[in-house]
Amino acid sequence: MANPYLQAAVAAAALTLSAPAAAQQAETYGDWSVRGAAPGGVTASTATPAGSLFGVVCDRSTCDAFFNPKILCEEGREYPALLIGSRTPAFAVRLHCAKIGEYHAFTLPLDEGLAEVIAGGGDLGIAFPLDSGEFGEARFSLTGAGQALTRARERAGASAGPGA
């Protein structure tokens, strides 16, 4: 785990993916919830009815995104993906696979493009290749995402800005 954003994402995404996460005090903003507290990390996330998760994890220095489509991936491997905001242009990203306890999740930096999609509201679609040669997809509501991200930054003591 050489990437600093990966270390933060893995540590705090574990809060959202773990069973004890349900016991943590959560704040709800539209379809998003905020859990955790600094210094361990704060997550702002949403889920599909099938249980896939998308969210942002913040520590005191940065915020990064994670995506758990409930599929296996090869730990440490990068995968191409396409992010499609319903109110913003689509763009390509690289997802980094990390194992968090018994779960696999993808992490990616919260950069200007992703921050714009989240702030734009509407829906976010993520298309990603599968080892079978087919494509998987997940669609997430961004209703409340901007407020949830702001609150996650506040709880973590992170400064404002895309990844900061």
Span 63-79, pLDDT tens digits: 889 999 888 888 999 99
* E strand spans, 6-156: 27-29, 32-37, 41-47, 53-58, 63-68, 78-85, 91-100, 103-109, 123-129, 135-141
Span 133-142, pLDDT tens digits: 888 899 999 9
3-state secondary structure of 43: strand
Q: What is the pTM of this model?
A: 0.80
Residue 7 has pLDDT above 50, yes or no: no
Distance CA 44, CA 35 (A): 7
Residue 5 has pLDDT above 50, yes or no: no
Span 84-138, pLDDT tens digits: 988 888 889 999 998 877 778 999 988 888 988 888 889 999 998 888 888 889 9
The domains located in the chain, with CATH, are: 4-156 (2.60.40.1880)
Residue 6 has pLDDT above 50, yes or no: no
- The number of beta carbons lying within 10 Å of the beta carbon of residue 74 is 11
